[in-house]
Amino acid sequence: STAGLLEYLFGPGDHDEHVDPHLVAAWDPDLPCPARAPARITLAGLALLLDAPAEALRGPRPSEPVWHVSVRNAPGDRVLSDAEWARVAAEMVHAAGVAPRGDEYACRWVAVRHAPDHIHILATLARQDGRHPRLRGDIPAMHTAARRFETLWGLEAMSPLDGTARRRPATGEAEKAARRGLTETARESLQRTVRETAALAHDDTDFLNRLRDAGLRVRERHDEGGALVGYAVALPGDRADAGSRPVWFSGRTLAYDLSLPRVRERFEPAVSRQDLTRAQERIRRAAALLARAGQREGAGDVAALGDLLVVSAAFSPTVVREKVRAAAVAFEQASRTPGPRTARSLEGAARTGFRTCVRTLE
């Protein structure tokens, strides 16, 4: 939620790592900072201001109304001033389509700084004229904008953008896992469990039940008509704010292909048990099709093979499970298809064969 994210950004952090949290920029240049002028505005008041356009939207609210990105310098870069970070923030929301320059009815947003090397930008995905914003290609556009600042200010260039990359844990998440002696962050654990579950499930109910059976906390989001429009998951015991609230991750926050619409693309009618006897032949046929598939068909085939590896890891004997999981993770880069149009067109003939094998492994 907007209020919850603001509490974290302006709070001490998980390990008191936040220093002097304050606003460096906002949709309203005269907006007071809750940390420096608490008598003028509170965090709760700021959250209400940010959320007001979402409450007034015409039509359904977006499934994930809070837009949040972090912009970070390389370790060897000089420390930017608040004014420079404000310029970066304004350029990022312009490039992303959140708040184009000169658009007085754009989305409301704020940029918060609580460390020397980075800022957080938070926005609500609702324009002030009651319409929805258009954010297609926001990540590549911001990447391009960042390159311009690197050249302008002599900063270290970031690595080329990987349009299919999974969402990596934030620094605070990694530090939290290290303090607890865990080998992976909550985000990584949830990514793995949800991906394995999505590969096995055959409808919404089965998907949610399997998540709960896997030991995750699950929160469903329904529209006014009662239809499922989103979900979030949390690990038992993973809490923020000194143990007062679970740390929830929506599907899209975990990975682009784990949003509910993308998970639903995996669903097909369940396979009967007798298909188990035909699994070997289906695998051979699917592999043969994969070898001669074209680029478009091959995208679906590779994605389906990735699902098969994920499920194989889940059902492998304990002695080899971690090795199979490592292979599944290594293959995942190939199984993610770049671009929303291609991702929606996973129509390879081999995909059906692989999907059947996934189900028969169960």
Listed in sequence order, the residues at least 6 apart from 154 whose beta carbon sits closer than 8 Å to its beta carbon are: none
Listed in sequence order, the residues at least 6 apart from 261 whose beta carbon sits closer than 8 Å to its beta carbon are: none
Ranges of residues in the chain with a pLDDT under 50 are 164-165, 171, 340-347, 349
CB 232 within 8 A of CB 219: yes
Domain boundaries, the chain: 2-153, 183-264, 273-361
The pLDDT value recorded for residue 329 is: 78
The pLDDT value recorded for residue 254 is: 87
The pLDDT value recorded for residue 277 is: 63
Query: In this structure, what token pair is assigned to residue 339?
Result: 């671009």
Query: How is residue 275 annotated by DSSP?
Result: G
Report the number of secondary-structure helices (H) and strands (E) in the chain. Answer: 14, 9
What is the DSSP secondary-structure string of 229-257? EEEEEE-TT-EETTTTEE--EEHHHH-GG
pTM: 0.48
Q: Provide the sign of the torsion angle of the four alpha carbons 351, 357, 360, 362, taken in this order.
A: negative
Backbone φ and ψ for 23, nearest 5 degrees, come out as -75, 140
- Looking at the chain, how many residues does it have? 362
Q: For residue range 38-70, what is the model confidence (pLDDT) as tens digits?
A: 889 898 899 989 988 888 777 667 667 888 888
The pLDDT value recorded for residue 1 is: 75
